Structure 1
Amino acid sequence: MAKTLLEVKDLKTSFFTETGEVQAVRGVSFTLKKGEVCGIVGESGSGKSVMAKSVISLIQPPGRIKEGKVNLKGENLLVKSQKELRSIRGNQIALISQDPMSAMNPVIKIGKQLTEVITRHQGLGKKAAEALAAGLLRQVGISSPEERLKQYPHELSGGMKQRVMIAMAISCRPELLIADEPTTALDVTIQAQILDIMQDLRSKNDMAMLLITHDLGVVSQNCERVIVMYGGLVMEEGPVKEVFQNPKHPYTEGLLRSLPKMTNGVKERLIPIQGTPPDLLDPPKGCPFAERCPYTMGICKEQMPPHFKIGDDRSTMCWLEDQEIKKRGDMNE
């Protein structure tokens, strides 16, 4: 059985603005095993990216990680100094951001940006670092890598910039790769190529991966487990196939129903989730999805549901799974 690589416990991150405290992440807990690929899905504003950046302590003011633990191989990253974190970031954990252009320095050549990561963490000389950088670019499908190293970011296409970001992220063979919307701005063909490259590198290097995306199809094809976030909380988690075939939370059900479908060659009308996400300046005391849920009960608006276990490796944060409520038969009150 694979060992636990990452364990996140009751993680809470807020942004302290002039209008008040925005509770972006409100108590997220999950584990990730060595070599496992886990998808994180949810609407914009659900807390996915903030949670991922909190894992590697990249939250900038006015944001602050309020409490919780992020254990990497048993060591809590949230109590590490900045010096210790710099030795971990890029080395043990790497991040691929959703906008490669903003993640790279536009006035520094690709080669220098790549070799800087390699020399800092691996202690190689200039020539050895350049040779490794060229090899990494070739590995992620970039032709004439020696020439690309001499170019600036603006001279590359969106797909090539994303490949450079992947090369940078895997340059030190991290144990955990966090990919935050890695294919958002790319066309479908390039998107498929990038995902294939990431899966290939993951299998070769035995990396675990957190894949943050809006695209449930990407999760279905590339992930083993899925975490569904909403309102800064985990609504449901479990094996991808089980969650997508038999969702236990109404929010997950709503996400799946809003996908385009074809039956017998006929396009079906999309069924959107009515309403708007909760205001995290003043989050509801009950279930954050209660105002949009078709199955809302009285208790949903008054009390936050716990995480109900469904078998050994699934859970959902929904009162519909409460056995006492099921026995009483008051699920439509």
Structure 2
Amino acid sequence: MSNLLELDNLQTTFRTHDGDVHAVRGVSFNVQAGELVGIVGESGCGKSVTCKSIIQLLGSNGRITGGQIRFNDDDLAQKTPQQMRAIRGNQIAMIFQDPMTALNPVLTIGKQMTEILVRNKGLSKKAAKAASIGMLEQVGIAEAARRYDQYPHEFSGGMRQRVMIAIALSCDPQLLIADEPTTALDVTIQAQILRLLKSLQQKTHTAILLITHDLGVVAQVCSRVVVMYGGLVMEEGSVEDIFYRPQHPYTQGLLASLPHPEQVSHRLSPIEGSPPGLLNPPPGCPFAERCPQRMPQCARRPAFYSQGAGHRAACWLLEDKGVQV
């Protein structure tokens, strides 16, 4: 498969009264056409900022300060806001974390869906209505024709998230970015939404970039995982690599902090300390202060070392165990 999206040394900064916050500090990874990739890490590690950088939804104080975002071999970092408006929705769509704030509370679901299809695909209002109802049915909303005329507050949380998925997929994007789409949902509804995303991805061959802090979600639906911390990628590999052969101490710490249902007496091992501040980020490995295996050379940023096909990690412990990539 070819690479649909390639991030190369992406750097994103936010201006604040206290100084520049270096939220993303050199992130590189790719997403292949039709692939489902998960981005995991603690809150504040740069997951959402990385993905919002892709579609230039950073706010007035955010800016891309370096690197490339190649989408179909076209650098999105060089696009004007007007050019990005033509790409957002049509080629790249995003599902936001809280559907209640993403949906307009004073417009019906149908109105919000049809205006996107009329503007982006040039459909008539009649054709857009038929397509919208069809999409609602596709994401599992019963009585879609009646629901079409209802308002967001008349839907449950899970149903609102299904509407967001329907809106995102209505223009047949090549890449779907899902920003913690199951965070506010209970476990049963969460499982339904994950199955829906996986099913739609297989049917439409849309590539999905899934942002989450829940490793259980990643294990269920993703084929490859990017582990982030302190605005950097710490480790990248297949689901099997990350869960069964983790190489970076941060990845190992995340896995050790997960509960084990089959081991009732198992004691969780939390990662001590707090993530680094990104106003003045550390020059070396950002995890060094919390790492139980830190060494003097951790004061310098490590290179990536290959741990097998498609598996790489940035840690000095691997200097003698892998090939630098």
Distance in 1 (alpha carbons) for counterparts of 2:162 and 2:132:
12
Question: 1:153-179 deviations in whole A, cap 9, x for unaligned?
Answer: 111111111000000000011110100
Q: Aligned partners of 1:287, 1:81: CA distance in 2, in Å?
A: 34
For structure 1, which segment, 105-114 or 222-231, has the greater mean C-alpha deviation from structure 2 after superposition? Answer: 105-114
Q: Normalized against structure 1, the TM-score is what?
A: 0.95
**Can you list the C-alpha shifts for 1:22-46, whole angstroms capped at 9, x where unaligned?**
1100000001111111000000000
Say whether 1:228 aligns with 2:227.
Answer: yes
Residues 48-197 of structure 1: pairs in structure 2 closer than 5 A: 48-197=47-196
2:284 maps to amino acid? G
Q: CA deviation at 1:312?
A: 2.7
Equivalent position amino acid for 1:130 in 2: K
1:294 and 2:295 aligned? no
Q: Which residue of 1 aligns with 2:281?
A: 283
Whether the aligned pair in 2 keeps the contact of 1:47 and 1:230 (CA below 8 Å) is yes
Identify the range of structure 1 (22-31 vs 149-158) with the bigger mean alpha-carbon deviation: 149-158
Distance 1:299 1:182 in 2: 39
TM-score, scaled relative to structure 2: 0.97
Residues 1:25 and 2:24 aligned together: yes
Distance apart, 1:323 and its partner CA: 1.5
Q: Percent identity?
A: 57
Say if 2:310 is the partner of 1:319. Answer: no
3-state secondary structure, aligned to 2:209: strand
User: Could you report, residue by residue, the CA deviation over 1:245-270 in whole angstroms, capped at 9, with x for unpaired residues?
Assistant: 0110000000000000144x524111
Letter of the aligned partner of 1:251 in structure 2?
A: Y
Go from structure 1 to structure 2 and tell me whether the alpha carbon gap of 1:296 and 1:122 turns closer, same or farther (over 3 Å shift): same
Deviation by residue 1:103-136 (Cα, 9 ceiling, x = unmatched): 1111111111001111112111011100110010
**SS in structure 1 at match of 2:140:** coil
Task: State the secondary structure of the residue aligned to 2:218.
Answer: helix
- C-alpha distance in 2, partners of 1:202/1:215? 20
- SS at 1:323 equivalent: coil
Residue equivalent to 2:266: 268
Specify the code of the residue in structure 2 equivalent to 1:240: V
1:177 and 1:55 map into 2 onto residues whose CA distance is 11
Partner Cα distance (1:282, 1:70) in 2: 25
Match of 1:328 in 2: none
Following TM superposition, where does structure 1 have runs of at least 4 consecutive aligned residues deviating by more than 3 angstroms? Answer: none
Alignment of 1:204-243 (within 5 A): 204-243=203-242
Task: Give the number of aligned pairs.
Answer: 322
3-state secondary structure, aligned to 2:28: strand
Aligned to 1:311, the other structure's residue is in SS state coil
Tell me how far apart the structure 1 counterparts of residues 265 and 112 of structure 2 sit (CA, whole Å). 47
Do the aligned partners of 1:261 and 1:267 also contact (CA within 8 Å) in 2?
no
